[in-house]
Amino acid sequence: MTTSNYTRHIRELDNANHLHPFTTHHELREKGPRVITHAEGVYIYDSEENKILDGMAGLWCVQLGYGVEELAQTAYETLKKLSYYNLFFQTTTPYAAELAALIASKTPDGLNQMLFSSSGSEANDSALKLIWYYWNLMSKPEKKAIISRQRAYHGSTVAGASLSGLPFMQGIFDLPLPRFHHIGPTPCFYQYGEPGESEQDFARRCAKALEEKILELGPENVAAFVGEPVMGAGGLMTPPDGYWREIERICRKYDVLLWSDEVICGFGRTGSWFGCQTYDFTPDIMTMAKGMSSGYQPISAVVLNDRVSRPIIESDTEMAHGYTYSGHPVSCAVAIKNIEMIEEKRLVGERGRAAADRFQAHLKALQEHPIVGETRGVGLLGAIELVKNKETRERYSSAGETGVICRTHCFNSGVVMRAVGETMFLCPPLIISDSEIDELFMRVTRALDLTFKDVRGA
């Protein structure tokens, strides 16, 4: 079969029976999907033999890059030795026990007890149920409201979508469920700061919205506040200076549990093992997935601090929650190997810092580009705001058309960059080398040039 015939064949098969996540299907079926056939290091390859630098680490997850022999071998050896066993009915496996110990050695002090699942959404479902359960055990059954933020992304199960602050993924499914509240402004100074307002004042205004919501609902009714240390899928928004300190203070003041969704920020993405360490706050609950196995196996966890876990451990009631694949041996073995390799390669440490410095220097330089209003980032996360007018921050389009044009130019320039509205994101594998970082930004610059050429008359 020629390359094009093969692509056509796969597209026909896909169009016939396959519904994709987060997709407008009639559009996809008219155009046909891009077919990714293999990947190596930081590059993915499609069925038309295009080699594309993956600036998004898959879906924010491939910390070690693609095709790592050691991870593949670990999966294979574990599949042969213990292809599956569950953790129900008073059993464990060496893999689950060792992974729990390893993660507890990386989380902040006091966050020691964890339950495994397979995806970020499931980890968040678990966290939510365990928070409600905790307050029931504390004889405060009325303390059930969850406060989240506008534009947050916490997954797409019923709970994940209810926690998220993105109306387009809620209304069509009759969500959010009751008990979920979303506050604004979203903590992104560039997008929501007011003229003349300092970053610190903006941080205080965002945090004050939490305090006001707690007081409106009554502190006795509020179970937890949830946030991503850096907001990811909603627009890659780094928090304003001082924001998390203030959020932590308010949570403590009203006895509201603080829940850090580390699904993107975990495992070295922001320069530390976890985003809460980069931003210097200590949550009561953490959820994590993605970089936990570099995406080689589906695995996630909710981690509870001693305060929340103790009553659950001491209770005579069965904690009737968990999944068939909680702590799957193959996923646990791969996650252990992945974390060990992140350590060996000093991706949280020396090499991670050097890569982040180079990446952030390139990102900052892009601010000079005529179509760029702001760039921002931390670690190996970066956002680029596309604007028509740098002074007024006016956009070329209100519905994200420029972002889509730029994303297409990225693919055609051999790089994956994601768009949300008029904001472009980068989140490359942590193993990206210096020369690959240079290549990444050379390709991104080309895509920005082409985008500017297309829209500047508009």
Chain residues binding ligand PLP by CB under 6 A are 119-121, 124, 153-155, 160, 228, 232-233, 261, 263-264, 289
Looking at the Cβ atoms of 233 and 335, the one nearer to ligand PLP is 233
Looking at the Cβ atoms of 7 and 126, the one nearer to ligand PLP is 126
Token pair 């993107």 in the structure block, residue: 264
Tell me the closest approach of the beta carbon of residue 61 to ligand PLP, in angstroms. Answer: 8
Tell me the closest approach of the beta carbon of residue 149 to ligand PLP, in angstroms. Answer: 11
Looking at the Cβ atoms of 7 and 148, the one nearer to ligand PLP is 148
Looking at the Cβ atoms of 131 and 372, the one nearer to ligand PLP is 131
Closest-approach residue to ligand PLP (CB)? 120
State the Cα–Cα distance between residues 187 and 397, nearest whole angstrom: 22
Tell me the closest approach of the beta carbon of residue 231 to ligand PLP, in angstroms. Answer: 8
Looking at the Cβ atoms of 154 and 205, the one nearer to ligand PLP is 154
Tell me the closest approach of the beta carbon of residue 180 to ligand PLP, in angstroms. Answer: 15
Looking at the Cβ atoms of 121 and 375, the one nearer to ligand PLP is 121
Spell out the SS3 assignment of the chain. CCHHHHHHHHHHHHHHHCCCCCCCHHHHHHHCCCCEEEEEECEEEECCCCEEEECCHHHHCCCCCECCHHHHHHHHHHHHHCCCCCCCCCCCCHHHHHHHHHHHCCCCCCEEEEEEECCHHHHHHHHHHHHHHHHHHCCCCCCCEEEEECCCCCCCCHHHHHHCCCHHHCHHHCCCCCCEEEECCCCCHHHHCCCCCCHHHHHHHHHHHHHHHHHHHCHHHEEEEEECCCECCCCCECCCCCHHHHHHHHHHHCCCEEEEECCCCCCCCCCCCCHHHHCCCCCCEEEECHHHCCCCCCCEEEEEEHHHHHHHHHCCCCCCCCCCCCCCHHHHHHHHHHHHHHHHCCCCCHHHHHHHHHHHHHHHHHHHCCCEEEEEEECCEEEEEECCCCCCCCCCCCCCHHHHHHHHHHHHCCEECEEECCEEEECCCCCCCHHHHHHHHHHHHHHHHHHHHHHCCC
Tell me the closest approach of the beta carbon of residue 86 to ligand PLP, in angstroms. Answer: 21
Are 65 and 38 in contact, with CB atoms under 8 Å apart?
no
Tell me the closest approach of the beta carbon of residue 121 to ligand PLP, in angstroms. Answer: 3
Tokens of 309: 């876990």
Looking at the Cβ atoms of 143 and 182, the one nearer to ligand PLP is 182
Looking at the Cβ atoms of 232 and 329, the one nearer to ligand PLP is 232
Looking at the Cβ atoms of 299 and 339, the one nearer to ligand PLP is 299
Tell me the closest approach of the beta carbon of residue 228 to ligand PLP, in angstroms. Answer: 4
